[in-house]
Structure 1
């Protein structure tokens, strides 16, 4: 072998080895900073999933800094292939389509139906940054088959290429289109169509129901229910008990939630720590939000584990100016006025014990109930954020199927 070529090969091999060692070190460091609670069934599995996701993000970050690719696009690509459909259930007809310019995937049960079917318009999670039709394909197939409902999965625009309100606008456009054509084109009763989603998708579903409630004039079709699976519902307070208790629990760490909200709004990460510390909310607004966000509104058992009441810090007017759109109800549905919340449809809300977003869901369920809106609340005591995506394979968790089955039961009774 030519000496120059040999040196090149050795250099490449050394660089690759150094890269791998760096990556392993970074993943190990991140993984050691997480806290997998013993209450989670199979905590070793959760640790393994967390390490894989951290590694994916690290590779993207390194390659982006080297100018080789965009981190968000790489993570999306890897997530799509990790959760890509492994097959199609025999009892479903699946097709891609476009509703009002928005890409969707429609799941229709093929079995004969005694009457018009129910429907669900579904918005995937992923912090408004990642996620796609592929990442929720398996769960949409499961819901459609088990509930015998037609499911429409929506591929809304993502950050950082697009900011609020692009995501919500796409969800509204696709939902309105489906409600208009549901009966004629799909044999679905438009009066029995729910909207739903997980995490950021749950945020979009709740915000959309509020937006449509404000636009409702007696002639417009609207969703009959909202299915909110561990939804993100407010960015005013990151010190709620669930944020304190689960701040380092995979798959959603406390700091990442602020990161996702800021990406959704404007991408200004310079204020991330200020937001986590609560410096973004003026005192008069925090006083107003207290009636909805007070930990005293939570059942006592959710305040017992590692919670300390914190004194709000002084607010920073510049930080507030940067994030103030995030305190609007279309980004933080939990902060909407009573007359708007009261006008939204019945809700199914699923929460997980080991999830920073647990209290968002519980507090919203209380608000809805107090205002006379029917609520079905399902709590997963050993669940963590993102659990519904781990229903199959060697990294599956039994509570994932239990969680999805509770969604199915709710849809069956619409």
Structure 2
């Protein structure tokens, strides 16, 4: 519908997506018992803080949460139900970050906003919120998971013991972790499964990077990656490393194609670790905090979450991985949505809560 309205010149598809997402996903329920919710600003970035009101024997743990939406949609309001659930069920202070959106604001604006809000919270967590700054994780779903993983690498590269606090863990819910290969088995198997279609992933990356959409076909065909980089990334994106039960659903290896230099220069920033955290070198990736990675069987992003898990394991970074067998991309946004609710949404959120409780 958004594309139709765009072509008719009535409304851009990005604005339509934002309107539709907000209409369906924004929470309108009163604040539940046992939770205090405040809208604040951290380092000029809007945030919503969820504080459990139950007595605590010591300082609480914290989670800084980045919403999904392909960097172009989603908001504090659309992630409200998820943040409420995590805060209450895990007795954790959750900070939801309202970072600026593409294409009006492009990379690295979103990551900069997340960094500013996270570092501010770490600096005031103990005195203002009764949170132990050494027990604060970052996390998010989809594009938010991408921002959380990228931020962990950025902060790890700057971290100096005793000087700068850093997240204690990364909680990644079906994260987008690379834009080098849109033909992995998960893309082939789930390319037409709602709510994230294969072509939309390329569209979102382009909006994040440059605000363009014309190069989507070239990205899907892999024309944006030079041969030498395909060889390098191939060792981290090898379908042979996937579990047998995933490969059993079938896939076809793609014949390598010549790259398009113009498209490469348009999106080459997207192959950096700050946009594609899975493609970071070993030194950068080995310095990140422990991770929880949740993937969904019927999700185009499933395989990169698995590959990220494998790389962390190989580098000695503690990682917990769970693949939800009956779930799809965006499933947590369908928790407690009346007739739009899915039972698997709560099961996925329970896995997240179980991990957060270990921090």
- Fold conserved between structures, TM > 0.5: yes
Matched position secondary structure for 2:39: strand
Relative to structure 1, is the Cα distance of residues 238 and 71 closer, same or farther in structure 2, using a 3 angstrom cutoff?
Answer: closer
1:129 aligns with 72
* Residue 97, structure 1, aligned to residue 40, structure 2: yes
2-structure distance, mates of 1:291, 1:61: 37
Per-residue CA deviation, residues 213-249 of structure 1 (Å, 9 max, x unaligned), is 1111222100000000000000000111101111111
2-structure distance, mates of 1:65, 1:370: 47
Matched position secondary structure for 2:40: strand
TM-superposed CA distance for 1:270, in Å, is 1.8
Q: What TM-score results when the alignment is normalised by the length of structure 1?
A: 0.84
Matched position secondary structure for 1:152: strand
2-structure distance, mates of 1:259, 1:61: 12
TM-superposed CA distance for 1:87, in Å, is 2.3
2-structure distance, mates of 1:72, 1:80: 12
* Residue 229, structure 1, aligned to residue 159, structure 2: no
* Residue 343, structure 1, aligned to residue 287, structure 2: yes
1-structure distance, mates of 2:7, 2:223: 30
Matched position secondary structure for 2:307: helix
Given candidates 379, 396, 400, the residue that maps to 2:341 is 396
* Larger Rg belongs to: 1
Query: Larger helix proportion, structure 1 or 2?
Result: 1
2-structure distance, mates of 1:299, 1:74: 38
Q: How does 1:3-402 map to 2 (within 5 A)?
A: 58=1, 60-85=2-27, 86-218=29-161, 219-392=163-336, 393-402=338-347
1-structure distance, mates of 2:215, 2:113: 28
1-structure distance, mates of 2:274, 2:85: 29
1-structure distance, mates of 2:258, 2:18: 38
Matched position secondary structure for 1:201: helix
1-structure distance, mates of 2:202, 2:131: 38
1:35 aligns with none
Relative to structure 1, is the Cα distance of residues 87 and 363 closer, same or farther in structure 2, using a 3 angstrom cutoff?
Answer: same
Per-residue CA deviation, residues 45-97 of structure 1 (Å, 9 max, x unaligned), is xxxxxxxxxxxxx1x44444555444423432332232222222111000100
Per-residue CA deviation, residues 247-269 of structure 1 (Å, 9 max, x unaligned), is 11111110000000011000222
1-structure distance, mates of 2:82, 2:291: 19
Q: How many residues align?
A: 356
2-structure distance, mates of 1:287, 1:125: 30
2-structure distance, mates of 1:216, 1:130: 31
5+ long unaligned stretches in structure 2: none
1-structure distance, mates of 2:201, 2:10: 27
2-structure distance, mates of 1:334, 1:75: 27
Relative to structure 1, is the Cα distance of residues 353 and 133 closer, same or farther in structure 2, using a 3 angstrom cutoff?
Answer: same
Per-residue CA deviation, residues 128-162 of structure 1 (Å, 9 max, x unaligned), is 00000110000100000000000000000001111
Q: Runs ≥4 in structure 1, deviation > 3 angstroms?
A: 60-71
2-structure distance, mates of 1:107, 1:231: 23
Matched position secondary structure for 2:325: strand
2-structure distance, mates of 1:214, 1:225: 15
1-structure distance, mates of 2:298, 2:8: 36
1:45 aligns with none
Matched position secondary structure for 1:343: coil
CA RMSD of aligned residues (A): 1.1
2-structure distance, mates of 1:192, 1:408: 15
2-structure distance, mates of 1:292, 1:362: 10
5+ long unaligned stretches in structure 1: 1-57
